[in-house]
Chain A
């Protein structure tokens, strides 16, 4: 769990820990915080599409996220993406 990567690179069912959220404007970042997407939160892909979008589990809830957001979330995980 000490390797840094983007959420978009994470595998399905792999539990990652949010390290930072980048390239998201303040208003949207604020909303993400309110939804529980904060540093230290556990995120897991429940379903992942080829483009990196998919369904994630966050604080016991399922959210659908797009590629843009998945590429903005830096997480800590076991295996670093080779891309």
Chain B
């Protein structure tokens, strides 16, 4: 089992997988007749070369931290939650309802209430697939996919028929009250004459995302519940034997997962658009899958992976602005990352394990390992 040291498993394999994904991505850029180095240059300058770029990168990062954590928590209970997209959409509805119908005196009051609203709606949307998985054995992957589509239709219906202010043309809610405006990085970090992060949407939610990372780490590795979740994920029979209820674990893990996805809406709906629009999620729910796989479902890994995808997202936007490379390049990179870190994991692992075995054999064998034949 433990052929490889822990660092190789946690760092080397993901790094090699990502390297392969990026080499192929570079190949794709060459194949469509562009220069990969120039493309990378544009992306780095656009995403990291100015406080404006950083403002966007960190804004996207915030989204991906939430959705990545959501997928991770579910992964620990061996649930594959593909429904982050739908849960984030419903979270958006929750946030919008809170912001539209409760008159808040100040954003610091609005934020916690909106957080609860988003998390509740997201969790509720995850609750039905979770219940069906726990009680009826319906496969969570299929039901969460179906719930993504149902959420999409529901959102269209709500925006077109219910929440759209009378007389408005586009399917969106009214603008939220000014008192719910979350402080952006520009509001927070502009000292003196020159404003930093001018116009960029990164806001105070980013810090909350960091707190969430820590909270998830505490939950998974430092609490009894987290232990139960991990135990269930490793072995259902063992968990059963230890008196852990599968129904309870599935429900709790999925509710936390849905809640985290729903909280993403704070960043996009309340922080950026300040109203609910149709495409506020923009595929972040799916990027959460790539982020969680790349981050090995560990909050620190998720944070780093989310940062990388935030960079890719903003860099990709700049790339499509200045060159002939469409934004969909990011979708390709995302697909390759999921493919190599998720599905083709063994492709890297198998040869690497052989390599490690080879090196181990060269060292003098410790006396304890091999059982001696009976004399």
Q: Bound pair: A and B?
A: no
Enumerate chain B interface residues (CB-CB to A < 8 A). Answer: none
Enumerate chain A interface residues (CB-CB to B < 8 A). Answer: none
